[in-house]
Amino acid sequence: MKKLICLSLAAALLAVSLAACGSDSSSSAPAQDSSAPASQSAASDSAAASGTSAYNLDDIVTAIEAANPVTNPRELDDFALENQVMLNMDNVADFSGKVSNDNANSALILAIQAQPGKAEDVKADLENYKSGLTTGMYAEFAEKEAQAKDSRIVVKGDYVVMVIANTEGASYSDIDTAVDSALN
């Protein structure tokens, strides 16, 4: 008798959970479909207002990485941008980026879509970050600091790109070409 009750309860629970899963997926599917065009149209509206085309941030990072390989890459996330780079995330609409996870390598590629009209604020935050990387405190990281000192911060409309060359021979002239190509 106990087995029959347990089996009945398990079957009822399974039926309820399947019904709940079915209704969630059908109700979230339209919301998901409608949010993608909304974010794309927001990006397009922002780009139109700033006079630039909308860019795919991942494509920018990939294009620059061809000229500036990031060894042992770590994806940059909200926490890293807010607590390490010290960006005011209220000024950031979207971003994509990688940084080398090797202590002696300076490689960093960061592409940001700023909130409309906030690109210069994002650039100022990145300039402060750059300044903090070039303190000259550690002689063993002199090459890494030199690369950071020469880093590039490029603004085009509401988009901001920061690149620090790797310490494995990346050329800033190649990086400049890659940034220009990615933002055209």
pTM of structure: 0.71
pLDDT in tens, 136-161: 766 677 888 889 999 999 999 999 99
Q: What is the pairing mode between strands 73-75 and 92-100?
A: antiparallel
Taking the domains of the chain in order of start, what are their residue ranges? 1-53, 57-182
pLDDT in tens, 80-130: 999 999 999 999 999 999 999 998 889 999 999 999 999 999 999 999 999
